[in-house]
């Protein structure tokens, strides 16, 4: 499932406005987060983000194990990107 890199996020909320399912909520600290129970992985938030901070699960550091796992998957990786999370 997609996630938002808060370190790089500018809190512009373009992702929130773009989500057709209202799956992106705002935390108390002002950062958006994706409600994984609602997200349909349509990719609209990914396309709307001007800072490219919405990432696939494979790039989530908290989910990596072992060396090199999840590396190399860029925004043009097969099966991820424009309307295809």
CATH number of the domain at 23, please: 3.30.70.20
Q: What predicted TM-score, i.e. pTM, was given to this entire model?
A: 0.69
Whether 64 is covered by a domain: the verdict is no
pLDDT in tens, 50-59: 999 998 865 5
State the Cα–Cα distance between residues 11 and 80, nearest whole angstrom.
23
Residue 46: inside a domain: yes
pLDDT given at position 34: 96
The DSSP output letter for 21 is: T
Quick: pLDDT tens for 13-63: 999 999 999 999 999 999 999 999 999 999 999 999 999 999 886 556 665
Report the alpha-carbon distance of residue 36 to residue 23 in Å, rounded: 7
- Residue 26 falls inside a structural domain: yes
Q: Which domain holds residue 35?
A: 3-59
Number of independent structural domains in the chain:
1
Check residue 23 and give its pLDDT.
98
């Amino acid at each position: 499932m997609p996630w938002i890199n808060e370190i790089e996020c500018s809190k512009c909320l373009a992702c929130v406005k773009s989500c057709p399912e209202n799956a992106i909520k705002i935390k108390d600290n002002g950062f958006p987060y994706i409600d994984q129970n609602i997200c349909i992985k349509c990719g609209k938030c990914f396309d709307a983000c001007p800072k490219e901070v919405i990432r696939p699960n494979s790039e989530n550091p908290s989910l990596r194990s072992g060396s090199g796992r999840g590396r190399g998957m860029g925004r043009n990786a097969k099966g991820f990107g424009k309307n295809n999370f």
